[in-house]
Amino acid sequence: MYDTGLMIGHFEPLHLGQMRSILEAAGQAKILHIVITAHPTPHPDFSITLQDKARWLQMACADLPFIHIHTTHEIALPLHDSFDEVHIDIPASNAKLHRLSQALTLPAEAVLFVAQNHPLAKSHITEHLQMPVVTTALQPAFDSYAIARDPIAHWPAIHPQARGDYTKTVAIVGGESSGKTTLVHKLANYYGASFALEMGRLYVGTDLGGSEIGLQYSDYGPIALNHAQAIREAAAVATAPVTIVDTDFVTTQAFCEEYEGRSHPFVAACIDEFRLDHTIMLDNNTPWVDDGMRSLGTPEARGRFEQRLVDIFTRHGIEPHLIDAPDYDARYRQALRFIDRYVYNKNQ
């Protein structure tokens, strides 16, 4: 048992193989320091910060108090597709280890944990390093390079704490009786995805007694806030690379403008601050069904509301993908093709 251990990595994304190596190292050290570095060429489809990665590891290790998480912008790790390509600059490596040791106030007997096949584990390298090297077992089921290149294709390997930053939110929007909620449930079942329900409808049930008769301007802020929390919770427990969202903040704003004659600044802020990755807009060309809570059933009202949605999207620089097939099954098929292409990178 070592008193102090050190691990260094990009952890982008954090995956189960890395976590198993961390646990193995933690079993051999009384205290394990994990240093997270910035990735030199991050994946273009995902905006991941050092703080995101620190949060993943901090949450994953929350009940393991002997593991300490750190971040640094000062230590750069080389980028490579395999360890065979790595050239070890011993003086530079020693300088990095020295800076880390000083920054973390590591004791002189601290050890560095690396995988068995890491170049630093080679005997002709270790004998020149200022810090002893201890190896962890290989994780052949988890290819860190392949996972980093295509996280979506390796979704099951991504640690649950990191999946929320690798799932893409897709909002289904449209006017009343356009088939949004049914499509949401069909898509969620098809992809095995988490989803966030329409908060306006739920709010009417929980806060207004089941009728919109009491709905007023001051309700739109709480509705948007509840929706933001529902989206956050759905993404945090993402079960697939896509998370489906029933309506969006633009729709909430459209109802506010329709019923109250003015926009809501908090809802506008939510549109800009809680950006969804993709928006599918359903044309209002399906039969209108009165479910007791709908009031925009005339062709004039439906057309006016649809144009209001378009205007608000334009106002906030959002370009929704329009699905205009009047047949419900055709809409479902078009939505599948869109998600397969823009989330799962199929048919490219």
Q: Are residues 75 and 98 in the same domain?
A: yes
Residue 347 falls inside a structural domain: no
348: in domain: no
CATH number at residue 146: 3.40.50.620
Contact 157, 17 (CB under 8 A): yes
Same domain, 143 and 7: yes
**Same domain membership, residue 146 and residue 220:** no
Residues 65 and 185 both lie in one domain: no
Q: How much helix, strand and coil, in percent to the nearest 5, is found in the chain?
A: 45, 15, 40
Indicate if 216 and 105 belong to the same structural domain. no
Please report whether residue 101 resides in a domain. yes
Domain boundary among 109, 130, 161: 161
Cis ω on the peptide bond leading into residue 13 (within 30° of 0)? yes
* Domain finish residue from 134, 161, 188: 161
For 303, other C-beta atoms within 10 Å of its C-beta total 14
Per-residue pLDDT of the chain (348 residues; tens, 9 = 90+): 999 999 999 999 999 999 999 999 999 999 999 999 999 889 999 999 999 999 999 999 999 999 999 999 887 776 665 656 667 788 888 988 999 999 999 999 999 999 998 888 887 888 888 899 999 999 999 999 999 999 999 999 999 999 999 999 999 998 877 789 999 999 999 999 999 999 988 999 999 998 888 999 999 999 999 999 999 999 999 999 999 999 999 999 999 999 999 999 999 999 999 999 999 999 887 666 555 555 555 668 778 889 999 999 999 999 999 999 889 999 999 999 999 999 999 875
Q: Are residues 129 and 172 located together in one domain of the fold?
A: no
Q: Look at residue 302 in the predicted model and tell me its pLDDT.
A: 79
Point out the domain boundary residue: 161, 179, 202: 161
Q: Are residues 285 and 237 in the same domain?
A: yes
What separation in angstroms does the CA of 266 have from each of 207, 250, 256, 295? 19, 12, 11, 24
Quote the number of domains for the chain. Answer: 2
Domain extent at residue 12: 2-161
Query: For the segment 218-272, what is each residue's pLDDT rounded down to a tens digit?
Result: 999 999 999 999 999 999 999 999 999 999 999 999 999 999 999 999 999 999 9
**Do 193 and 157 share a structural domain?**
no
0.85 exceeded by pTM: yes
Q: Does 203 map to a domain? A: yes
**DSSP readout, 25-71?**
HHTTEEEEEEEEE--SS--TT----HHHHHHHHHHHTTT-TTEEEEE
- Residue 282 near residue 247, CB atoms below 8 Å: no
